[in-house]
């Protein structure tokens, strides 16, 4: 989760500073992964390499709108809905953030790293860097329904053998990681 203070001039020409909260839950991140050709990371790399400014800005717009929200008073929920999204997008704070992300690679990287769950990236990296087979190759094992009540479980060995995109795809299909 990222809490970001943004200073902007409102429509009454008054300078304002507000703190906004951004977060991409694992399900939203998986949805985004599945919606982009090759997944988010490869899609971003392709856009950067092609220097496709319009597509890069469109991706920033999507990331901002998918991640804006508010923490509930009791701290148990991260509320994201059209009202919160519209209220933010209709301010000059959105404009300031959008221009910052579009013109500063470091700010864009910090924003993205801040909205992605920290433990999710660590879990995927950890699972993918596991042991290999006897000749150093990764042993590929197909995930199968194996849990109680028909829950589809991916073992740690299976997850290590999968690529990141395949792992996200399986999780989107309802598979869960073995604990």
Going from N- to C-terminal start, the domains of the chain cover 2-116, 122-177
For residue 69, the model assigns a pLDDT of 96
Kindly write down the DSSP assignment for every residue of 35-88, as one continuous string: HSTTHHHHHHHHHHHHT-HHHHHHHHHHHHHHHEEEE-TTSS-EE--HHHHHHH
In this structure, of 40-44, 58-62, 90-94, 107-111, the range with the lowest mean pLDDT score is: 40-44
Coil, strand, or helix at residue 139? coil
Is the model's pLDDT at 44 over the cut of 60?
yes
Is the model's pLDDT at 71 over the cut of 80?
yes
**Is 147 or 155 the better-scoring residue by pLDDT?**
155
For residue 39, the model assigns a pLDDT of 78
Identify whether the C-beta of residue 69 lies closer than 8 Å to the C-beta of residue 84: yes
Q: How many CB atoms lie within 10 A of CB 138?
A: 15
Q: What is the pLDDT of residues 89-112, one digit of tens each?
A: 999 999 999 999 888 888 888 898
Is the model's pLDDT at 124 over the cut of 70?
no
Instruction: Quote the radius of gyration of the chain (alpha carbons, Å).
Output: 19
Number of helices (H), then strands (E), belonging to the chain: the values are: 9, 7
**Is 130 or 172 the better-scoring residue by pLDDT?**
172
Q: What is the strand order of the sheet 144-145 is part of? A: 144-145, 152-154, 176-177
In this structure, of 7-16, 122-131, 151-160, the range with the lowest mean pLDDT score is: 122-131
Identify whether the C-beta of residue 178 lies closer than 8 Å to the C-beta of residue 156: yes
For residue 86, the model assigns a pLDDT of 96
């Amino acid at each position: 989760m990222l809490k970001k203070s943004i200073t902007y001039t409102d429509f009454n020409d008054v300078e304002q500073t507000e703190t906004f909260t951004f977060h991409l839950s694992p399900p939203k991140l998986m949805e985004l992964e599945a919606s982009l050709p090759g997944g988010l990371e490869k899609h971003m790399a392709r856009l950067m390499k092609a220097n496709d400014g319009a597509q890069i800005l469109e991706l920033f717009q999507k990331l901002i709108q998918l991640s804006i929200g508010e923490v509930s008073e009791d701290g148990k929920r991260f509320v994201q809905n059209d009202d919160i999204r519209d209220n933010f997008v209709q301010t000059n704070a959105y404009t300031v953030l959008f221009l910052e992300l579009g013109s500063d690679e470091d700010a864009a990287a910090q924003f993205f790293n801040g909205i992605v769950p920290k433990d999710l990236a660590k879990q995927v990296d950890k699972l993918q860097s596991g042991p290999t087979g006897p000749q150093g190759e990764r042993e590929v094992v197909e995930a199968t329904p194996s849990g109680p009540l028909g829950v589809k479980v991916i073992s740690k060995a299976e997850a290590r053998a999968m690529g990141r995109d395949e792992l996200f795809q399986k999780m989107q299909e309802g598979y869960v990681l073995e604990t």
